Each structure stands twice: as structure tokens, then as C-alpha cells.
Chain A
Amino acid sequence: DAKTTQPTSMDCAEGRAANLPCNHSTISGNEYVYWYRQIHSQGPQYIIHGLKNNETNEMASLIITEDRKSSTLILPHATLRDTAVYYCIVRVEDGNKLVFGAGTILRVKS
């Protein structure tokens, strides 16, 4: 599985959009980009995933660059409850595991 690089931490003001970047420059054509988050003392929670097109669901939007070497997770209106560690993961099409890095600690502040 390709390696991902994320900033160690980010701050965001409550109500503003949180934009979390991820670099995956060695991604292969059959690898998907997944985002999970882990709120303190809980198990990771799935957010969104995509292959090459931008994706949106009720939680977030995922923007993948045309060359697929990087992506951005967007939380459109961050709340205090969005404070968590956010993991960007690339995963092969028939992969059976998630390979987590260190993730980005997002702190949403009022």
C-alpha cells in the first residue's frame, strides 16, 4: 500500500471549513483514498473514500487532484465535536486491511 504524508496537527475555528491535506505521491492506479477519524477514546470512524473523482457525503467532501498524488478532506462547517485525529489511507482495490499512519490532530476552537 502506498504511503501517505499528513501534517501533524491543525487548528480550525468553529463554523469555518476545515481543510485537511494528504500527500500520496506513490499511489497506484488501483488504490483508493480513504479517510477515517478517531475521536478520543473511541474507535476510528469512516468518513469518505474515492478513486479519482471528487466525492461528497453528509459528513465531508473529498477533493483528489487530477494526478491523484494528493487529496484534501473538507469539513464544511467544523464544530467542536469534529476535534479528532484524521487518518488518510490508501488502499488497494482488493485489500483486506487499512494501513494507518500517524494522522492529523485537528483541533476545532471556539
Chain B
Amino acid sequence: ETGVTQSPTHLIKTRGQQVTLRCSSQSGHNTVSWYQQALGQGPQFIFQYYREEENGRGNFPPRFSGLQFPNYSSELNVNALELDDSALYLCASSASVSSYNEQFFGPGTRLTVL
């Protein structure tokens, strides 16, 4: 069984640029959540996708957007990058939206904005 994978592993961008991060969910999982983790802090919830629809959003501006595809993989897009967007971006998949289902996290994408 393949776990959650994310690409790329590391990325360096400059202010104002746009970035797309990708996540492949674990086999059989239809729900994907994205988190941002700044250095030394716990992960912060960005949004969740369930069956290709957004199913909840955290306190992040609209320049953070996402997609989920029919195979349940997902993308996180960030426009107009700011220095504070530098962080580890984590993707987590779960078997459904129910809280009974644990979320399985990928290794993350480390984004550096210069």
C-alpha cells in the first residue's frame, strides 16, 4: 500500500511568484487536507477537499487555492508569494471526512520564498 506522497521535496521561489504543490493520497482515501507549518510551530490547517469539493477552510487568504482530481490527488496553489509563506507544506489524506478516520500525512514540501 503506497502512502501519501508529495512533490517537490524542496522549492525556492521569489516574492510575487506563484507555486503549485502536489499530493497523492493514500490508496482508497477520498479526502485530502493541507497544512502549513512554519519553523518551530505546529501545522496550521489551510483547507480540505472531499470528492473534488472544498470541505472547510482555515484562516488563509484567497491566494491560497486548491484542487482535487477524480483520482483524489490534490494540488495546493499559492499566488503572489510573500516571505511569510516560507514553510513546510503538509498534505494529509483520510478514508473519509469523518473524524473517526485518522489523517495520514506525507513528508511535506519545504517552500522557501526569497
Contacts and interface: CB of A to CB of B under 8 A. Distances in A.
Given A44-B43, A101-B42, A102-B42, A96 B107 contact: no
Interface in B1-56: 4, 33, 35, 41-45, 48, 50, 55-56
Interface residues of A, number: 23
A84 to B, nearest CB: 13
A43 B33 contact: no
A42 B107 contact: yes
Given A98-B43, A101-B42, A103-B42, A43 B102 contact: no
Contacts of B33: 96-98
A93 B58 CA distance: 18
Given A43-B105, A96-B55, A98-B103, A87 B97 contact: no
Contacts of A99: 45
Interface of B: 4, 33, 35, 41-45, 48, 50, 55-56, 58, 90, 92, 97-99, 102-108
Interface of A: 32, 41-46, 49, 85, 87, 91-103
